[in-house]
Amino acid sequence: MPKRKKRIVIKVGSNVLAQNNGGLDVKSIEQLTRQIAALNKQGIEIILISSGAVAAGRSLINLPKKTDMISQRQLFAAVGQIKLINIYAEQFAQQGCLSAQVLVTKEDFRDREHYINMKNCITVLLQNNVLPILNENDVISVTELMFTDNDELAGLVSSMVDADKLIILSNVKGIYNGSPGKPSSEVIPVIEYGDTSFENFISSEKSNFGRGGMLTKCSIANKVASLGIPVQIANGRDENILTDILEGKTVGTLFTPKKNISSIKKWVAHSEGFVKGIVYIDEGAEKALRSNKPNSLLPVGVTKIEGSFKKGDIIKITGTSGKQLGVGRAEYNSEKATELMHKKNEKALVHYDYLFLNDHQLI
Ligand code: GLU
């Protein structure tokens, strides 16, 4: 089999793409498309997740004051996305690169079937040397079922395509070892997997234009690193940022990855939004799951079951402290699980291969 090409997911935040007054910063987009096209020509597959639709739309349309927040977002996104994608398409074309727009909602990742459809879509684009540009379909994603932000979408896509790296570009240089405004604070170059000492410095402030902030970025970076993918957070406005990162220069903050995890576990890890039931387990079961051995969740350790789920549904696993331990795919429905609760020598409720445990949670 031919060796798979290097595959990088790049997420660009609204603050990299928008000017302070709200319009799109074409120069900044130009800078990024030039670098991405160059990497593409070197044989690196790039999947671009780009925000900026709402910011672009805001500068194009004057709204009557009465328009409610949801309608505003829909209007801005509908007007802005076409503008944004046109600039990308034109600039990539000038660099000899064919690009495509893929607009997604959280629903598109709902179950394994939807997930595989989405994966096939990205794969066929890459196989045909087309550069996918993804954004959330903000026009219809308006309910609680939308992504927290595009960082979440980028994390999901990275694990879906088995990316070799996720690069998150925003308008900050990385994670600082103090308040970013203080002259004594410096960017932490590397955060080893499992090291949480940097957390005290993360501000919960949101950016000007986008929905995300450093807290969600770090949380996603941690999760993606726990799935075996390195993540780099860097300043997207630095002129040669992408080439610098791929040449291995010390820029931004790199989250080093945990050991490799199977793609099925990656899907389970990102299915939390579709939980159909909660399973409470006792101390013994918690210990078994947390041990270094590949243990499945057995009914003997289950103390309570909430919700109604079918075989194949995603269920949340909660420990004695009430904290979520992880998620998994149910091997049988909630009725059978209730029947087998506390019983020894029964078939696993969640098989190890379909079990994802949170190592550490920031939010
Ligand atoms: N999808 C939104 C946009 O294109 C941005 C969401 C986010 O800030 O992450 O404007």
Residue 200 is given by DSSP the state G
Tell which wins on pLDDT, 66 or 133.
133
Q: Pick from 239, 262, 285: which residue ends a domain?
A: 262
| pLDDT for res 35 | 97
Question: Which domain, by its residues, includes 118?
Answer: 7-262
- Distance, CA of 210 to CA of 150 (rounded, Å): 9
| pLDDT for res 217 | 86
pLDDT in tens, 311-361: 989 999 999 888 889 999 999 999 999 999 999 989 899 988 788 888 654
222 and 290 fall within a common domain: no
246 and 319 fall within a common domain: no
234 and 349 fall within a common domain: no
Q: 168 CA distance to ligand 1 centroid (A)?
A: 13
| pLDDT for res 250 | 83
pLDDT in tens, 76-126: 999 999 999 999 999 999 999 999 999 999 888 877 788 889 999 999 999
| pLDDT for res 225 | 92
Using the predicted structure, report yes or no on whether residue 299 has a pLDDT greater than 60.
yes
Structure tokens, 15: 């603050």
Rg (CA), the chain: 21
Q: What percent of the chain has pLDDT over 90?
A: 54
40 ligand 1 Cβ < 6 A: no
DSSP calls for 44-91? -EEEEEE--HHHHHHTT-PPPTT--HHHHHHHHHHHHHHHHHHHHHHH
Cα→Cα distances 105→53, 150, 153, 174, Å:
15, 11, 9, 28
Q: 16 CA distance to ligand 1 centroid (A)?
A: 12
135 ligand 1 Cβ < 6 A: yes
Q: 212 CA distance to ligand 1 centroid (A)?
A: 8
**Strands (E) located in 105-179:** 130-136, 165-170
54 ligand 1 Cβ < 6 A: yes
**Strands (E) located in 237-347:** 253-255, 277-281, 302-307, 314-318, 324-330
141 ligand 1 Cβ < 6 A: no
User: What is the number of other CB atoms lying within 10 angstroms of the CB of residue 193?
Assistant: 16
Domain assignment present for 2? no
- Distance, CA of 60 to CA of 58 (rounded, Å): 6
Q: Total structural domains in the chain?
A: 2
120 and 159 fall within a common domain: yes
Using the predicted structure, report yes or no on whether residue 3 has a pLDDT greater than 70.
no
Residue 336 belongs to domain with CATH number = 2.30.130.10
Q: 210 CA distance to ligand 1 centroid (A)?
A: 5
Domain assignment present for 363? no
Using the predicted structure, report yes or no on whether residue 131 has a pLDDT greater than 90.
yes
Return the residue whose CA atom lies nearest to atom 5 of ligand 1.
51
pLDDT in tens, 139-171: 887 776 788 889 999 999 998 998 999 999 999
Structure tokens, 262: 């199977």
User: What is the number of other CB atoms lying within 10 angstroms of the CB of residue 147?
Assistant: 22
The residue-averaged pLDDT of 34-48 equals 95
Return the residue whose CA atom lies nearest to atom 8 of ligand 1.
210
Q: Which atom of ligand 1 is nearest to the CA of 57?
A: 10
Q: 53 CA distance to ligand 1 centroid (A)?
A: 7
Q: What crossing angle do the helices spanning 150-160 and 214-226 adopt, rounded to 10°?
A: 10
Q: Pick from 232, 262, 292: which residue ends a domain?
A: 262
Structure tokens, 247: 């040449």
| pLDDT for res 82 | 97
Average pLDDT value over all residues in the chain: 88
Q: 138 CA distance to ligand 1 centroid (A)?
A: 8
159 ligand 1 Cβ < 6 A: no
The residue-averaged pLDDT of 54-59 equals 92
Confidence of residue 209 (pLDDT cuts 50, 70, 90): low
The answer to whether 12 and 236 have CB atoms below 8 angstroms apart is yes
Task: Mention every residue, 6+ apart, whose C-beta is less than 8 A from residue 94.
Answer: none
Lowest-confidence pick of 124-138, 190-204, 250-264, 290-304: 190-204
Tell which wins on pLDDT, 134 or 116.
134
Query: Highest mean pLDDT range out of 17-21, 63-67, 199-203?
Result: 17-21
Residue whose pair of structure tokens reads 């903000």 in the numeric block: 138
Cα→Cα distances 34→163, 240, 250, 363, Å:
21, 10, 21, 35
Tell which wins on pLDDT, 184 or 181.
184
Q: Pick from 211, 240, 262: which residue ends a domain?
A: 262
21 and 119 fall within a common domain: yes
Confidence of residue 362 (pLDDT cuts 50, 70, 90): very low
224 and 253 fall within a common domain: yes
